[in-house]
Structure formats: structure tokens, C-alpha cells
Amino acid sequence: MRDCGRRCVYCGTALDFENATLDHVHPLAKGGTHYPGNLVLACVRCNRLKSDLLPHEFFARFPWAGMNFIHYARTVHRALKRCARRAVSLAYAEAA
């Protein structure tokens, strides 16, 4: 909870122990691991929305989630943050 500022890393909603879920940024179904650099807190809605999408797929579809991820996910692996920045930049460039 402390590592994510008690917020969903995708939408920024305040979380407590009752409504927080553990999310694997790089999904287990696609080769992700249980290492701390791949784990974040998410609300139930965002965790279902992300499902088993890879980070770049999810952030390309929902750039607002990528912006929040960059801000709130403090302890994730640096490569995941770079991926989020790239996907958000491309999504906003295509929209313009």
C-alpha cells in the first residue's frame, strides 16, 4: 500500500485493504513474474479492465492509465515505466 501511495496505479482512486487488488504489470499468462518490480496495487475495475494485456497494449488503449502509472507506481521496474512513457506518447501523438 505504501509503495503506491494508497492509490490505484491506473486510475488514481484511493484504496484501502477492502478494495485493493494485486496486479502483475507484465501478466503471468504472458511470462510475468511475482517479483516486486512487477507487482502493483489496482482497484478491481482497473484490474479487470487490464486483464492479461501487456503494459504497452493497455497503455496504448488507455493513455490516462499510463499517465497515472508513471505517477503512482514508484517501485516497478524501470523498463515498465519506460514502456508506459513510450505507449502514452504514441497514443497521444496518434490522437493529435
pLDDT number for residue 49 = 97
pLDDT number for residue 3 = 83
Collapsing DSSP to helix, strand or coil, 41 comes out as: strand
* Longest CA–CA separation in the chain, Å: 39
Domain locations in the chain as residue ranges: 2-95
φ, ψ of residue 27 in degrees (nearest 5):
-60, 145
pTM for the predicted model, two decimal places: 0.90
Architecture of the domain whose range is 2-95 = Orthogonal Bundle (1.10)
Phi-psi category of residue 35: left, alpha or beta, with phi > 0 → left and psi -120 to 50 → alpha: beta
φ, ψ of residue 43 in degrees (nearest 5):
-75, 165
pLDDT number for residue 52 = 95
